[in-house]
Structure 1
C-alpha cells in the first residue's frame, strides 16, 4: 500500500529551470548537441529534414505519382533508414557528458561518415550481397565493412540510449563467439560460431541488424513519430492539456486528474515518457502541489500517467508495431487486445488520485464538482462519438454503394470543407493559453471556451482511425494518410486564421511553412534513438535464431522457476524491469520478447494453460514500460523530480505504488485472456455485448484494486478490509480460478480417441490433447498441451491428418510421429525429439466439461464487498465520489 506519512510540500531535490528541462528532454530523445556554427546546425537540420522526406517518399507508392518515382524493396530501404539514424546519432549526441555540445569534434565527423558509410554500403551493394554474403559466401571486404558497422552501431546506441543496449548486444555476440564457458549454463552452450559467420548474420544478412525490428522502424514507426511531431508542432499538445483541465480541473484534486487525462491524450503525440512528463508536468505538477500534493506525489502522478501513454490505443508506442510482425496479427487486432487494459488502467489512475484527494482533504481549484457526474459526462461523450462514428461508417458505405466512382472525391471534399469550417470556428475565438500555474490567482478555462479552438486537430486522428479500423489498411498506409492530413493542417491553419481574422496572411503562411519544416526535423530527430535501438536489438534477435538459446531457454527458465508458471512470470517481469532500467521501451521489448514470449507460451502449455502469444507479448510490453518508473534508474521519475523539485528515488517509489495496477494487469490477462478480448468476435452483436460486459466488470474490479492498494475506499481501510477488496477484485477478474477448484474444467478421454474426438466435434469447438516426448539436448521427458479448433472448412473425417498430425495407435496407447512440416503443430512441437529411442506419445484427450457458470462466484464476492461498504460507511466523513 502507498505510504501516507510524507510531509506535504517536501522538496528534497533541485527544481530545474525551463531551459534545463528542455535540455533534459533533448538529451534523451533528440540529441543534446546544439552547434554554434550556423553551417553545422543547418547541415544537421538538413539531414533530419532529408530523412523525413525520404520516409514520406518510400511511404507513397500507392499514390498516383508512385509510378514516376523508384520503388525500393526492404533490403534497400532499411539500410538507408539506418544510414540517416547513425549519421545523426554521431552528430547530435555527444560521446560523453563532458564532450562539447556547441560543436561537432573532428572524431565525431569521422565516426559519423564511416558509420553511415557502412550502412550505405549494404544499400549500394544489395544486389551483390544477395549472391555472396547472403548465400553464405561473404568476401573479406564485406566482413571488414560489417565488423566496423557493428562496432560503430553499438557505439551509436551507447550515445543515444546509454550503455545498456551496447553491453547486452556485446554479451550476446560474445556468447555466439565462445559458445561455452563457466558463465554459460550447459543447457544453452554450443560450439561457437566463426567470426565470419557472426558478421555475416549480424550485418550482411537480412536477419540481424537489418532484420524485422529495423524493418518495422522503417515502415511503420517513423511515420507515426512524424505524425506526433507534426501534431505537437501544430499545437495539439497544448489543446489536449487545456481540454483536460477544462473538464477535470474543478474536481477535488482536479490538477492530478487533469494530468492523468492530459497525459493519456498526449500519448497520441509522444511515444516518449520523458517528453510527456516534461510537456504536461511543467503545468500540472505546480498545480497539484498547489492543492496539497507533495512534490514527490505530484511527480509520481505525472510519471504514472505519462508512462502509460505508451499503452494507449490507437497509436501506442513503437513496440506495438513490432508486435504486428512478431505475433503475426493485424495492427487492428493489437489495438483490440490492448484497449480494455489501457482504458481501465487510466480510469483506475483517475480514481487513485481521487482517493489521494479524499485522504488528504484536498480542495478543488474553484467550486468543487462531482466525480460521478464527470464520469457520466465522459461516458455520454464516448457514446455520442461512437454513434457519430457509426453513422459516418454507414453514410460513407451508402455513398459508395450509390456513387462508387464519385464517393472518394466527395468524401475528400467533405473532409476539407469540415476542416475549413473548424478553422473558421477556431478563428472566431482567441488562441487560449492557460494561466501561469504559479500565479496567485488561477483561472481555469471551461470546455465551451477550449473545445472549439482545436476541433481540427481531431481530423487527422479520425483519418488515422478510419484507415486502420474501417478501411483495414496497413499501419504504414494509414499513418501516411494521417501525416498527409497533418501536412495540410500545419501549413494552412495559420494563414486561414489570419484570413478570417483580417490579419497578415503572407506572414502567417511563412510561419506555417516554418512550422512544417521544424515539425519534420523534430520528427526525424525523435527517431534517432528508435532507429538505432531497433537496429542494435536486431543483434539479439539474430543471436537467438543462430544459437541454442532460442530453443533451450524454456528449459533454463523452467529450472529456475521450478516449473511453476507464476514464478516464471515473476522472473520474466523482474528480468524486463532490470533490462528496462537502461533500455528504451522499444529495445527492451525486442530483447525480452525475443527471449521470453515464446517461453511463457511453452511453459504455460506444459502446465495445461493455453497462453495466447499476444498475451505473452503484452505481458513483456507492460513490464518494459514500468522500467521508466522504477528506481534506481527510472528516467521518467527523474524528469518528474526535475520539474517538481522532489526527491527522484522517492518519486519513483511512489510512482511504482500508483502503477501497481499496471503491474497486476499482465498477470490477470495471462490467466484470463478474455480481459484482452481474446476469442471475442467484435463483428457480432453477441461479441460486442460480451466485450461491454468484460469492460464493465474489469473496470469495477480495477477500481476495487485501486482502493485496496491505496488503503482508502469510503473511509480509511483497515488491513483486513484492504485484503477483502483485493480478494473481491481478484474474483471479478478471474472467477474461473475458484470454479476450477470446485469442478474440473475438462473431461479426460483415452488418448486413442483423439482422432475420433476431432472428427465428432462441431465447427468452432476445441479439443485439447497432451503430448509427451524427449527433448533434444537433455533427452528428458517433457509434456505440452495443444489445442485443435474445428474450422468451418474442416473435412468431415480425417481432421487429424488434415491438421498435419501423424498418429500411430498401438493398443490403448497413441504414439505420434513428427507433424507435417509447415503446420502449426510442427512448430509447437519443435522442442520434442521425434527420432530418439523414447517415442512421443499422446497422454490424454481433453474436452470441455459441463460446469456451473463461473459468474456464480460473483455472488459471494459482492456479498463480501457489501460487508466492507457497510462497515466503511459508518466511518465515512466525506462524499466518496
Structure 2
C-alpha cells in the first residue's frame, strides 16, 4: 500500500506472511499442495512449464494443430508436470520425486506424443484399435484419473470412475438408467480416440481459451495489479461505515478477474482485509465470512470469470460467444456483490463500526495516479465488445499489461518477470487440465449412454412436473457436487444431467434446436451459480475454512456466516430462471431496469431482516415481515412487486420514526456484540 511521509499508511493490520499464506493454500486448496524441488529437477520443471506456455502461445498466435494433436499435447504437458510436482499423498515428501512418479511422468509424455506421432494412422483406423492403441488409451485413462486425484481431489476421481463403471455395467442398472453396456475396448476408444471423451469439449476449452486467460492473470499479478486492487478498494471504500468489510467486498470482486479459485482469492486478498477487519472490531467469524463470500463471487464477476464460463460457451453452442456469457453474467454478479455489501453495511451499523481513520488511509492521490494498471482489464472488455475473438483479446491483454508495467519503475516488468509469468501461468493450468480431462470422461459416458436424458426425465418426474421443485433438487445436487468437485467438473456434470431437466420444463415440447437462448442461459447459469457457492456452503465450505485459517475463527461458524452473507447467491439463480431479463438477452432496457430496482430493494429488506438491524435494532416480529417483503420484491410478478414496494415503504417509515427507541448508543451496541 502506498506510504507517504506526510500521510503514513500504518501497517498495523498484521498482514499474514507469504509463508502463512502458502500454508493455508496447501491446507485448503489442493492445487497449491505441490513439491518444492531444488537442483537439476527444479530447472527441468521450470523450463518444461515455460515450454508448455510457449506452445500454447504459439498455437494461440499462429493457429492450432488438428484437434486431437492440440489436445493430447496439452494433456501430455499437464499430466507430466502433475506427476512431477504433486505427491501421491498429501503428507508425501515435497523435496524429492518418487521413482514411480518418474515412471508415470514418462508414460504421460508417451500419451501426449502418441496422437502426434500416429495421427494419420489413427485417423484412418475409424475406431479399429491395434493392441498398442488399446494399451496407450487404457494408460491415458488411468493417468487422467490419478492426476485428477492428486491435483483436483479424490471426489472427482470417484465420480469419473463411477461413470466408467456405469458405461461397462449398463445392463445391470435399474430400468430408467439401464443401457446395453460397453466393452472395455469400446470404452477406451471412446475415451481417447474420439473427441467425445478425454479429448472432448472440456479439455478443448482448456487448451485454448482458459490457458491464455490464465497467462493473462499471471501477467497481471506480475504488474502488481493484485496489490493495486487492495489499494484502490481502501481508497474508495475505506472511510465508509464498516469500511474494512466493504474493502474486502470490493477488493475480492476485482481479484476475481485474475484468480479463478475461491480459496486462492481468499488467501490473496484476505491476508490483508481480514486482519484489518479484526483490528477494527469485527468478530473473527464475521471477518472471515465477509472475505469468503466476496472471494467466492470472484468467479461470477465479468469480464474474466471462472473456467466454467468458457465451457458454457461450448456447451450452449448456437453461435454464442464468451462476450454474450460475460454480458449475461454482469447484472447477476452485481446483485451478488450488492447483497454482500448490504449485509456488511447493516452488520457494521448494528455493531457500531465506522470506517478507517485518516491516518489509516492511503494517499488517495498516489493510488489514483496508478489507475492505468486497470487498462489491461478495460482493454479486454472493449476488445470483446467490438468483436475481437476471445483468445486474441486475451493475447492483446497480455501485451497491454506488459506495456502499462513500464509506466512506473516499481511495476516495470523485467525479462525475468516475463518468464516467471509464463511459468506461473502454466503451473496454474495444471489443475484445470486434470479437471477438464476427468470431466471429459463424464461427458463421454453421458453422451454415449444417454444418461443425461434419462436422469433429466427422472428428475422432472420426481418433482411432479413442478419447476420450483425441480430447481430445488438441482440446487441440492449442484451444492453436493460442488463440495467435492471443482467448479469446472461440477458444471460439466450438472449441465449435462440437471440443466436439461430445467430446459424441458421451461420449454416443453420444443425441439432442442429451437429452445430460446434465454432459457438455455437461465438453466446453465442456475447450475453454474450453485456449483460455485458450494465453496461457502457448510459442511464443506473450503473458501470459508481458508478464511478461518487467516482469521483464527471457528471454521463451521465462518461457513454459516458466509452462507448467510451470500444469501443473495441462493436467490439470484431462481431470479434468473423466473426473470430472464437479468441476462440482458431479448429484452428491453426498461424491463431489465425494473427487475434490477425491485431486486436491490428486496435485498435491502432481506439483508435488514437477516442481520436484525436497519435504522435501528429490529425485533423478531419485524424481521420476519422484512424478509417476506424482500422475497415479494424479488418474485417476478408485478402484483408482488407493487405489494412489496408498499410494504417496504411502510417498514422504512416505521424504522425512521422509531429509530431512537431501541437502537442504543454506539458504545452500547459494541458492548452487546462483544
Same fold (TM over 0.5): yes
Counterpart Cα distance in 2 of 1:568 and 1:859: 28
Shift of the 569–287 alpha-carbon distance from structure 1 to 2, 3 Å rule, reads same
The answer on 1:348 being equivalent to 2:339 is: yes
* Residue 567 (structure 1) aligned to one of 451, 469, 478: 469
Q: Note the C-alpha offset of 1:119.
A: 2.7
1:578, CA displacement in angstroms?
0.9
Could you tell me which residue of structure 2 aligns to residue 596 of structure 1?
498
- What CA distance in whole angstroms lies between the structure 2 residues aligned with 1:857 and 1:553? 34
Q: What is aligned with 1:45?
A: 46
Q: Cα offset for 1:26?
A: 5.5
The structure with more helix, counted as a fraction of residues: 2
What is the correspondence of 1:829-840 to structure 2 with a 5 Å cutoff? none
Change (3 A) 1:713 1:185: farther
Matched, 1:661 2:568: yes
Distance in 1 between residues matched to 2:640 and 2:558, nearest whole Å:
38
* Aligned-residue offset at 1:555: 2.2
Of 456, 460, 465, which residue of structure 1 is paired with 2:376?
A: 460
Pick the aligned partner of 2:425 from 508, 512, 523: 523
Structure 1 residues 597 and 245: CA distance shift in structure 2, 3 A: same
Q: CA deviation digits over 1:771-797, x for unaligned, max 9?
A: xxxxxxxxxxxxxxxxxxxxxxxxxxx
Q: CA deviation at 1:193?
A: 0.6
1:138/1:200 contact within 8 Å kept? yes
Checking the alignment, whether the CA contact within 8 Å between 1:580 and 1:624 is kept in structure 2 is yes
**1:16: Cα distance to partner?**
7.8
Question: Shift in Å at residue 86 of structure 1?
Answer: 0.6
Deviation per residue, 1:712-760 (Å, 9 max, x gap): 2222333443333333333333342xxxxxxxxxxxxxxxxxxxxxxxx
> Match of 2:605?
704
Q: Pick from 645, 648, 656 the counterpart of residue 865 of structure 1.
A: 648
Q: From 531, 536, 552, give the equivalent of 2:454.
A: 552
Alignment of 1:329-478 (within 5 A): 329-366=320-357, 443-452=360-369, 454-470=370-386, 472-478=387-393
Kindly indicate whether the alpha-carbon contact (under 8 Å) linking 2:575 and 2:636 is maintained by their aligned counterparts in 1.
no
Q: Map 1:484-499; keep pairs closer than 5 Å.
A: 484-490=399-405, 492-493=406-407, 497=409
Do structure 1's residue 246 and structure 2's residue 235 form an aligned pair? yes
Higher strand proportion (structure 1 or 2): 1
User: Larger relative CO (CA 8 A, sep 6+): 1 or 2?
Assistant: 2
Question: 1: CA distance between counterparts of 2:465 and 2:84?
Answer: 49
1:270–1:276 CA contact under 8 A, matched in 2: yes
Cα contact 2:77–2:112 (8 A) shared by 1: no
Change (3 A) 1:46 1:26: farther
Matching residue of 2:257: 268
* Secondary structure in structure 2 of the residue aligned to 1:543: helix
1:309 aligns with 2:298: yes
Task: For residue 677 of structure 1, report the CA deviation from its aligned partner.
Answer: 2.0
Structure having the higher Rg = 1
Q: CA RMSD in A?
A: 2.3
* Contact 1:16-1:642 within 8 A present in 2 as well: no
For 1:702 and 1:468, locate their aligned partners in 2 and report how far apart those are by CA, in whole Å: 31
Asked if the contact 1:320–1:334 (Cα under 8 Å) also holds between the matched residues in 2, the reply is: yes
1:754-765 aligned at under 5 Å gives the runs none
Instruction: Give the corresponding residue for 2:668.
Output: none
- Residue 649 of structure 1 deviates from its aligned partner by 1.4
Partners of 2:33 and 2:628 lie apart in 1 by 49
CA-to-partner distance for each residue in 1:242-280, whole Å, 9 max, x for gaps? 010111111221100000000001111111111110111
Closer, same or farther in 2 for the Cα pair 1:632/1:735, shift >3 Å? Answer: closer
Number of the residue aligned with 1:177: 168
Using the alignment, how far apart are the partners of 1:641 and 1:557 within structure 2?
Answer: 37
1:76 is displaced (CA, Å) by 1.6
CA contact (8 A) 2:339 2:567 kept: no
The separation in 2 between residues aligned to 1:879 and 1:253, in whole angstroms, is 18
**Aligned equivalents of 1:126, 1:617: Cα separation in 2:** 35
- Give the distance between the partners of 2:404 and 2:419, measured in 1 at CA: 13
Q: Which runs of 5+ in 2 are unaligned?
A: 1-14, 666-674
Distance of aligned partners of 1:163 and 1:735 in 2 relative to their CA distance in 1, 3 Å threshold: closer
User: Which one of the candidate residues 383, 386, 398 is aligned to 1:483?
Assistant: 398
Equivalent pair of 1:33/1:91 in contact (CA under 8 Å): no
CA contact (8 A) 2:323 2:385 kept: yes
- Partners of 1:668 and 1:875 lie apart in 2 by 33
Name the structure 2 match of 1:236. 225
Query: What secondary structure does 2:145 align onto?
Result: helix
1:57 — aligned with what? 58
- Residue 237 of structure 1: how far off its partner (Å): 0.5
Structure 1 counterpart of 2:122: 129
Residues 565 and 607, structure 1, Cα contact 8 Å, conserved in 2: no
Matched, 1:96 2:89: yes
Q: Which runs of 5+ in 1 are unaligned?
A: 1-14, 368-441, 499-507, 681-686, 737-853
In the alignment, the residues of structure 1 paired with residue 31 and residue 483 of structure 2 have an alpha-carbon distance, to the nearest angstrom, of: 19
Q: Which stretch of structure 1 is more off in the superposition, 655-664 or 720-729?
A: 720-729
Cα distance in 1 for residues equivalent to 2:127 and 2:349 = 67
Equivalent pair of 1:25/1:278 in contact (CA under 8 Å): yes
Match runs of 1:700-779 below 5 Å: 700-736=601-637
Structure-to-structure mapping, 1:666-677, within 5 angstroms:
666-677=573-584
Cα distance in 1 between the residues matched to 2:176 and 2:19: 52
